[in-house]
Amino acid sequence: MTTPTQHEHKSHAPDSIGCMVMTCSDTRTPETDTSGQLIQKLLKDQGYNVALYHVVKDEPAQILFRIAQGTANNAIQAIIINGGTGISRRDSTFEAVDAMLEKRLSGFGEIFRLLTYQEIGSSAIMSRATAGIVKGRILFSIPGSENAVRLAMQKLILPELGHLVGELAK
């Protein structure tokens, strides 16, 4: 339920938001990256601009390089990363992202895991989804499955993205 104060805050959100979408995967290509394509479609359906898109290996140096590239671009206000948030040996996205966060939005990961738990049960504890601020940009890091992407985008990211970017501009 949205209160008048929440509605007022969201009414001041910017109309145009430039986004960078990045998929961290050792196996996906731009042609097979259905999760990255879904994120782009959902952003565009909301009227947001996807200014940059990358598929990178789940290698911290590559991830950090692309995040730095996004934060150096004045057209980017939001970075959405999918993939590499699990606990397997190759999953290193969380460590790379977490090291860069200047402020953490702990509630994002907590609520994402709660919503995931409601859908799939106790294996939700393996998700290391996170969000925060890097050099004045909002950054979300979510799992790479299409179901996780849809959940995160529809329930959390899209409803708040404009509001978050507006708050960062203050």
Neighbours of 148 (CB within 10 A): 23
Each residue of 91-133: pLDDT tens digit? 999 999 999 999 999 999 999 999 999 999 999 999 999 999 9
In a domain, 4, yes or no: no
Residue 12: pLDDT over 70: no
Q: What is the pLDDT of residues 67-101, one digit of tens each?
A: 999 999 999 999 999 999 999 999 999 999 999 99
Let me know if residue 32 belongs to a domain.
Answer: yes
Q: Can you tell me the distance from the alpha carbon of 38 to that of 40, in angstroms, rounded to the nearest whole number?
A: 5
Residue 29 has pLDDT above 70, yes or no: yes
In a domain, 86, yes or no: yes
Backbone angles phi, psi at 137, to 5 degrees: -115, 145
Is 6 inside any structural domain? Answer: no
List all residues 6 or more positions away from 166 whose beta carbon is below 8 Å from its beta carbon.
9, 10, 12, 13, 14
Question: Is 5 among the domain residues?
Answer: no
Cβ contact 68:109 at 8 Å: no
With a cut of 90, say whether residue 4 has pLDDT above it. Answer: no
Copy the structure tokens of residue 85: 């948030």
Residue 12: inside a domain, yes or no? no
For residue 7, being part of any structural domain is answered with no
Q: pLDDT band for position 14 (50/70/90)?
A: confident
CA distance 129 to 161: 16
Q: How far is CA 77 from the centre of its chain?
A: 12
Q: Check which CATH number belongs to the domain holding 92 and give it.
A: 3.40.980.10
pLDDT of residue 71: 98
22: closest CA among 43, 46, 4? 43
Entry pTM: 0.93
Q: Which structural domain, as residue segments, surrounds residue 35? A: 18-168
Higher-pLDDT residue of 42 and 10 is: 42
Q: Using one digit for the tens of pLDDT, what is the confidence trace for 38-70?
A: 999 999 999 999 999 999 999 999 999 999 999
CB 105 within 8 A of CB 132: yes
For the chain, how many structural domains are there in total? 1
